[in-house]
Chains A and B, each alone.
Chain A
Amino acid sequence: MGGAGASNSSSRRSFVASCLGVSGAFAASLLSGCSFSLRDFLESPARIYFGQSESANFSPSASSQDLPYEVGSSTTFPASEGKQYGFWMDASSCIGCGSCVSACREASCTPENAEGRRRLLLYEMAHDEKRFVSLSCLHCAEPACVRVCPAGAVTKRADGIVVVDREACIGCRYCRQACPFDVPRYRDGVMDKCDYCLGAGIAPGRQPHCVKSCPSGALKHGTMDDLLDFSKGLASPVAAPTGPSLLVS
């Protein structure tokens, strides 16, 4: 259920929840004896807490007719083996302008009422410090979306780029439930996600539109080996069960 349908989803959920039972005043505290809690996590030494905001307000400014190239298929460019492309997100220099989100929407011809492939997350930290993280598909080493797709519509190419065959997708949203980063979006009922702009005519290894549009150079793209070398230890890979191809600094 996408952003546009979020309020409807919430109201439906409230309705169903109400039908399930009347609100109760009593609730025992099973959690009281537990050794781990959400509060412990949020009150860790770094004292980061969630202040996540979707960048729904970044509107697209172009349609497919305005593009200087033909929007093609992810299969236009052959995959070269032995590479794993990824992003380096320098949260310390991101200014949160949302240019990457707008550029992504424009390049992927995302309709105004649809969720974009890329979103900007805001993490509010201690002392009112803020960190923006621009996030799209992380083209994981072992993608959960590929593993769970019942129609085999999501595949990982030899160069590590995870692509979706929109003609085969049935729109079950299992990939979104399985994705550790809540990445897959749905347009016209089928899955849609970042393909490093392959579908927008950018060859593998060339800079996708989100990177080119970043005014502060906070978002970088390349092979993971090159990004790690270039970051000189300043950036850390994001750790998750699927091995995402994203460095953060």
Chain B
Amino acid sequence: MMSFQQVWEWPAGLYLFLGGLAAGAFVAASLLRLLRLKGQEPAVAVSYWLSVVCLAGGLLALLYELGRPERGVQVWVSFSNGSSWMAFGAWVVVLAFSVFLLAAILSIPSLAQALALRWEWFGDYLEHMRTAASVLGSVLALLVACYTGMLLKGAEGVPFWDSWLLPALFAVSAMAAGANAVAMISVATGCVRWLPLRVRRRIILVVMVLTVVEGTILAAYLLVMADGGGGAFAAQRAAAAASADALVSGAYAGQFWIMVVVTGLVASLALSAASCLLKGRAGGLVLAVGSVCALSGECALRFLVLFAGIHADYVVGALITIL
């Protein structure tokens, strides 16, 4: 029988989640900042720092997965293979981390003021630097979000990952995770009370649309893979179908339906919608619980897509040909 890939384990799954969460949280926080919504500065600052910590955690998880972590730096130093998504992604992640860190430092008012007192020019350009960091960081964050999917897509030995729908799914899922994380932070820091109900509802609507789009792409991805994934070889189609089978009705079905579909999509959507109808503290609390559900689902999605990967067996196809 076919067996699931054992090459990459939980550290890779953790990286896929943390990388996506960092990217999504940075984009969501940057939008809050660029829209200059009243009273959201603390939420933006905490979100930026969350992005920094998550991306650093993801990088550490990747290093832990390496057979020779001490050589990991060679990826950045040599950059000797432009056709490798991992080489490309490693640079994108480090650039993103640098800009995320800059944005996070600039988001601390006391620190920014201290620097402005020391260098006059710093105070003059502070807002410009904040805006530049937000915009550039958001572009890099989008690349990081796509890269988490491209990393798996590039591993073409596993047909289940060899689809453009996967980076699309991971990118949208990352944005949804980030938006939910920022919503949760906004509730936790009390910033949500500064948002007019109309604005709050619009933000929640955006989060809900992202969740619906994510669910749609996930369904399309699984249907395509269950149908063989469009591979040119029977071995590819068999492996892709077996992986989809494992998620939908096989070894990982329980986790998939409970964590990804029910908790991550349905429950988070329902709670987000409910939070629009509730006012005051109750609305914020329901929104936060919905966000926790969404984050759990996003995390489970990445682990399960990783774990369900199956290598194609082309030898059996050759044996069929000669017999």
Contact = CB atoms under 8 A, between A and B. Distances in A.
Interface of A: 1, 6, 9-10, 12-13, 16-17, 20-31, 34-38, 41-42, 44, 46, 48, 50, 52, 91, 121, 123, 125, 131, 133, 135, 144, 147-152, 168-174, 176-182, 186, 188-190, 235-241, 244, 248-249
A9 B237 CA distance: 26
B252 interface: yes
Interface in B217-247: 222-223, 226-228, 232-238, 241-242, 244-245
Given A30-B248, A34-B226, 9 more contacts: A16-B10, A26-B257, A42-B238, A44-B234, A152-B84, A177-B157, A178-B156, A179-B157, A241-B236
B259 interface: yes
A137 to B, nearest CB: 13
B5 A177 contact: yes
Contacts of A152: 78, 80-81, 84
B248 A239 contact: no
11 contacts: A20-B304, A24-B254, A50-B313, A52-B313, A125-B319, A133-B319, A151-B81, A173-B65, A177-B7, A236-B318, A236-B322
Contact of B83 (A13, A20, A147, A179): A147
B271 to A, nearest CB: 18
A148 B154 contact: yes
Interface of B: 1-2, 4-10, 13, 65-68, 71-72, 74-75, 78, 80-81, 83-87, 90, 154-158, 222-223, 226-228, 232-238, 241-242, 244-245, 248-249, 252-259, 263, 299-300, 303-304, 307, 309, 311-323
Nearest to B3: A52
Nearest to B155: A177
Overall SS of chain B's interface: helix
A244 B300 CA distance: 36
Contacts of A52: 313
B6 A31 contact: no
The 10 closest A-B pairs by CB, nearest first: A171-B67, A189-B67, A152-B80, A24-B254, A177-B155, A27-B253, A21-B255, A150-B86, A150-B87, A21-B259
A241 B68 CA distance: 29
Contacts of B316: 48, 50, 123
A174 B237 contact: no
Nearest to A32: B249
Contact of A174 (B10, B155, B317): B155
B84 A249 contact: no
A30 B249 contact: yes
B252 A17 contact: yes
Nearest to A26: B257
The listed residue with most B CB atoms (<10 A of its CB), out of A28, A31, A38, A171, is: A38
B255 A20 contact: yes
Contacts of A21: 254-256, 258-259, 263, 300
A182 B157 CA distance: 8
B74 A151 contact: yes
B167 to A, nearest CB: 15
A35 B257 contact: no
A31 B253 contact: no
B74 A170 contact: yes
B323 A176 contact: no
Nearest to B90: A150
A112 B16 CA distance: 34
Contacts of B2: 38, 50
A109 B252 CA distance: 39
B318 A172 contact: no
Contact of A148 (B72, B155, B256): B155
A20 B17 CA distance: 13
B315 A135 contact: yes
A131 B315 CA distance: 11
A21 B219 CA distance: 20
Contacts of A240: 233, 235, 312, 314
A38 B241 contact: yes
A238 to B, nearest CB: 4
B156 A173 contact: no
Contacts of B322: 91, 235-236, 248-249
A65 to B, nearest CB: 25
